[in-house]
Amino acid sequence: RYGVSVLYCRNTMVSLKLQARLAADVLRCGRGRVWLDPNEASEISNANSRKSIRKLVKDGYIIRKPENVSSRARWRATKEAKAMGRHKGVGRREGSRESRMPSKELWMRRLRVLRRLLRKYRAEKKIDRHLYRALYQKAKGNVFRNKHNLMEHIHKMKNEKRREKQLAEQLNAKKTKEEACRNKARKQELKRRRKEAAEAQTAAVAAKKAQVAAKKAPA
């Protein structure tokens, strides 16, 4: 009963006001938080300097009591109940829906989430600056409901772009192949014509020789 903030020990009638004041100064707290051991009152009464008070603190004869704090147990229980939807009925609400959670605040939160995701993707080189600007304007125009919706749109656009690139590559490959086939056919046709021309020229030379030989023959 008399061990809390002891200034007098009733059994021996020893005044400990000085020791309590010095202990409060050493422990850097108020006198109400200083506990002096009533069983060691005679030894504590002999301490008349801060050095001796520090020794008593080290020995455990003088203690700084912890601060009194309000229990958070009831608050935690209420918080868990509110997370399940309790204590949030019509009778508990004060103010309109707009005043309790403004639509502007919801819009700002959603837009900041979307813009943060776009900046992250741009920094990671997942989207280029042109796609970033296009998606930024769409987010500002309330096109995306949430982050998941924006991610789906990005994947869809990237897949379409990849598909267009593949189709363009296939078309270029087809054009290259057709061009190669045309060049090959053109070369073969040119070769055939040269061969026919050479054969015709050879036949003409042979016919001319035959005519000359027929003229020279005796009648």
CB 9 within 8 A of CB 38: yes
Backbone φ/ψ region at 68: left (φ over 0), alpha (ψ -120 to 50), beta = beta
DSSP string across 16-72:
-HHHHHHHHHHHTS-GGGEEE-GGGHHHHHT--SHHHHHHHHHHTSEEEPPPP----
At residue 5, the pLDDT reads: 47
Alpha helices by DSSP H, the chain: 17-27, 41-45, 50-59, 73-83, 97-100, 103-123, 129-140, 147-216
Tokens of 13: 């009638």
Summarize pLDDT for 137-169 with one digit per residue, the tens: 999 999 999 999 999 999 999 999 999 999 999
At residue 6, the pLDDT reads: 47
The Cα diameter of the chain in Å comes to 177
Express as a percent the part of the chain with pLDDT over 90.
82
At residue 214, the pLDDT reads: 82
0.75 exceeded by pTM: no
- Sign of CA pseudo-dihedral 204, 206, 209, 213: negative
User: End-to-end CA distance of the chain, in Å?
Assistant: 167
Residue ranges in the chain whose pLDDT is less than 70: 1-13, 218-219
At residue 219, the pLDDT reads: 56
Instruction: Sort strands 34-36 and 62-64 into parallel, antiparallel or unpaired.
Output: antiparallel
Separation between Cα atoms, residue 100 and residue 90, nearest integer Å: 13
At residue 212, the pLDDT reads: 83
Separation between Cα atoms, residue 3 and residue 57, nearest integer Å: 15
